[in-house]
Chain A
Amino acid sequence: MRDVSLTVNGVRHELELEPRELLVYVLRERLGLTGTVVGCDTSSCGACTVLLDGESVKSCTVLGVQADGHEITTVEGLARDGELHPLQQSFHEHHALQCGYCTSGMLLAAASLLAENPSPSEAEIRQALEGNLCRCTGYQNIVDAIQAVAS
Chain B
Amino acid sequence: MFRNLLSLAVLLSIASTPLVARAVTPVELKSVKIDLPDSDKMFPDGSGSDAINNNCLACHSADMVLNQPSLSKQAWTAEVNKMINNYKAPIAPEDVGTIVEYLTTLKGAK
Check if A and B associate: no
Query: Which of A's residues lie within 8 Å of B, judged by CB?
Result: none
Query: Which of B's residues lie within 8 Å of A, judged by CB?
Result: none
